[in-house]
Structure 1
């Protein structure tokens, strides 16, 4: 690998040439990476670039493109969780009766190589113009069963404070919406964006605001990222953490323990651990569900319940999320396992069937 000492490490890397120059890709892979770049965007911001020790470490794997992305496994899908099929108007996804996604843009601070929207996101598109945004807001106004709106994308915290504030004020004026949730990687991937102006834009008077931060490895919690999270928490915004179970990134009990401990130590409640969505070209990250359940079982009793997420599968085709366990109760045998794996017999009324 070429040395990474000479080029500037204070830029966002976006091209195969820049990756090669920084020693994150081999010159022999340039042609294949150029083909990958035709379909999938790359962005490695300085915060993440400084964390990469080698291209196949837990940070590098998440953000450095690979020729393997050109290979599509038989089980992979172009629209793995049915976003396109469940979009009544541009910018809206409606999967559950009481909530809807609003995607005001498709730009991110970095582009995860396992993203289920990877064919849509990128630096050049996806920003809803005034007419499209108004149509999306009008859809929300006219559907009174919607109580929660989830801002996602892309990354909503890549919006300017003015634009984000405008969207949130419009949502706050919709009486039946009681909760707004923002999903973002910005606090850890681009913490410099967590400014007072952005925090001011996120303050809501009537509705509950929640922030869900995506992180997959404890090394993502840099000092600047931790400071950004503190600024958010001081504003009274509850912070949840969501992660994806990824081969080579966090597929061990120790890696998950480190990740979830880092979340809790930064006042972030682990929320979801996602089974990988079958997006095109992502099979190198796949961890079988049986292994995921074993990993979660290995954490039980090892970490505080505050650090315990729900392991979920988003059923391909847009059928919603379901928890995957692990399970501890065997109803027919009337036994339950403790965290060490030892089984114990349950006595009535816990196993009584009927009334």
Structure 2
């Protein structure tokens, strides 16, 4: 971003002696909240002109970004806007949420459906890719719109939630397939739904005997933590089914005090938490930042689960790294950070062929690498027949 005057009340000041941006992995200092008149927190920012008025972009960028916003939805909640330092050219929070003209650069290899959801759609909003689980797209709306989203062609404020008839058809399919053990509830972001609707869904899933686990994938506790109320937490629990929540965050500064409180509310209710992170150039593609994020998750009782290699979504080439770089980062985490802090580095194979681990290999015939890069002889003991 070009440097321009920061609007008072937007974004934290840099820590003394440190430059803000991607290589500052420490949690953000307490920020002055974004305020509207009468001392109230400001609204979600949805248009480039809103971003300019908020001081997050220079006014002369508005016309170019209108073309981006016309194609891909924009939404930045107050919780995320507070974290953005508009003076920092490579602010990692801004990079995730503020639109960029680079998004209009569509590369030949990029795909509108990069992970092949459509190939495995068995009903509107229902994906059956793996034998024992399905993915249910409860809503195509999000609290924020990530600039790297792999479903960016389908989500937005004008997208509909799954209609009642379609949800009923999805539940009928799940009930008719006894091999389905887990229902992954995604979207969009399912936690933008009301507690009433979530409770109805959980009651329905709890009534299907072979469904034992419901997993919600969400950014809500991080980007709009005030939504994680006692009512919402209660809605996520139902007799007969165990609830897990997967938390999406990509930089340690996202784990604010408010986010930590929201995560604690979920954990204190007995809901196990796991993480998902996307490896993003200019956001978390260095070991210090990635390690700090994983430690932050563990401190919040969130078990690091997935580090996703960037998908081939349209207009996201400026976010993608190489698999070689991702493997090098995983090697850098191993040994230097607790075993609790080790996610699984995965790639969704384009075309709907599924998710596979692409982490580094430590075995080379009869030699094994250690965490410091040394190589040691090791042969399997012969087995008895």
TM-score (norm 2): 0.88
2:74 paired with 1:42: yes
From 4, 7, 13, the equivalent of 2:7 is 4
Structure 2 Cα separation of the partners of residues 34 and 85 of structure 1: 33
1:18 is aligned to 50
> Does the 8 Å contact 2:248/2:276 carry over to 1?
yes
Look up the SS of the partner of 1:211 in the other structure.
Answer: strand
From 274, 290, 308, the equivalent of 2:324 is 290
Look up the SS of the partner of 1:59 in the other structure.
Answer: helix
1:311 is aligned to 345
Matches within 5 A, 1:43-192: 43-54=75-86, 56-192=90-226
* Range 214-223 or range 117-126, more displaced: 117-126
2:325 paired with 1:260: no
Look up the SS of the partner of 1:48 in the other structure.
Answer: helix
> Does the 8 Å contact 2:207/2:240 carry over to 1?
no
From 227, 230, 237, the equivalent of 1:193 is 227
Look up the SS of the partner of 1:85 in the other structure.
Answer: helix
Structure 1 Cα separation of the partners of residues 375 and 180 of structure 2: 44
**TM-fit CA distance, 1:299:** 0.9
Uncovered stretches (5+) of structure 2, i.e. residues with no partner: 10-34
Structure 2 Cα separation of the partners of residues 348 and 250 of structure 1: 37
Aligned residue pairs total: 351
What is the CA deviation profile of residues 302-336 of structure 1, one whole-angstrom value per residue up to 9, with x for unaligned ones?
Answer: 011110000000001110011012111111xx111
1:225 is aligned to 259
> Does the 8 Å contact 1:105/1:126 carry over to 2?
yes
Q: CA RMSD in A?
A: 1.5
Uncovered stretches (5+) of structure 1, i.e. residues with no partner: none
What is the CA deviation profile of residues 124-173 of structure 1, one whole-angstrom value per residue up to 9, with x for unaligned ones?
Answer: 22211211111111111112211110000011111100011001111111
Structure 2 Cα separation of the partners of residues 345 and 15 of structure 1: 59
2:238 is aligned to 204
Look up the SS of the partner of 2:7 in the other structure.
Answer: coil
